[in-house]
Structure 1
Amino acid sequence: MPKAYIIASVTVNDSEAYAKYAALAPEAMKKFGARVLARGGRSEALEGTARARNVILEFDDYETAKAYYHSVEYQHARSHRIGAADFHMTLVEGA
């Protein structure tokens, strides 16, 4: 079964509110077995518009990644992020 990846590109507008999200999200990540492949670090746009922060999470499969996103735990964390950051998140199935 192919792995799945959640890719998030973020520009934080309210660091205090975003910190609450960042403190809560790992609970959901742990519950669904997410592995952090990239979080922050150096990046640059090769095409298109870049955001200041990029995160890549790996999951065992597509269904688990979707369950993570829709979970009570993640949605609670997400509630602190809304309005605190411009956020683009994509779920991708691996090869």
Structure 2
Amino acid sequence: MTAYVVAKLTITDPNTYASYGNGFMAAFAPFGGKLLAVDEAPEVIEGEWRCTRTVLLEFPSKAVMRAWYTSPAYQDIVRHRFAASTADIVLLEGFALPAA
């Protein structure tokens, strides 16, 4: 089943974060994911959304997402994100409508 990642990031060091961004697609593309949204100023409908960037990713499954996240290519660049930002990240399973 399709899986989604929602990441709320607060970037504290844009120069170091750029090293993460520069390598992201090369590490991401082999896993068949889709980068659905990146927004610096999402419209808040309810509540508070305290972050400087919001990212929405789609993967074919939770297993594929985990394979990407633990891959050597991603682990090589994620250290830059860790050094340059804080994040709240969740993995969501897609929803299948019940048959009518």
TM over 0.5: yes
Q: Is residue 18 of structure 1 aligned with residue 17 of structure 2?
A: yes
Distance of 1:8 and 1:22 partners within structure 2? 14
Structure 1 window deviating more from structure 2 (81-90 vs 17-26): it is: 81-90
What is the deviation of 1:41? 4.8
Q: How many residues align?
A: 94
Amino acid at match of 2:55: V
Distance of 1:32 and 1:87 partners within structure 2? 22
Retained in 2: the 8 A contact 1:5–1:57?
yes
Distance of 2:25 and 2:84 partners within structure 1? 18
Q: CA RMSD in A?
A: 1.3
Distance 1:49 1:39, change over 3 A: closer
Distance of 1:82 and 1:3 partners within structure 2? 26
What is the deviation of 1:87? 1.2
Which aligned segments of 4 or more residues in structure 1 are displaced greater than 2 angstroms?
Answer: none
Retained in 2: the 8 A contact 1:44–1:50?
no
Retained in 2: the 8 A contact 1:14–1:84?
yes
- 1:54 aligns with 54
Structure 1: runs of 5 or more not aligned: none
Retained in 2: the 8 A contact 1:25–1:74?
yes
If the length of structure 1 is used for normalisation, what is the TM-score?
0.90
Retained in 2: the 8 A contact 1:7–1:57?
yes
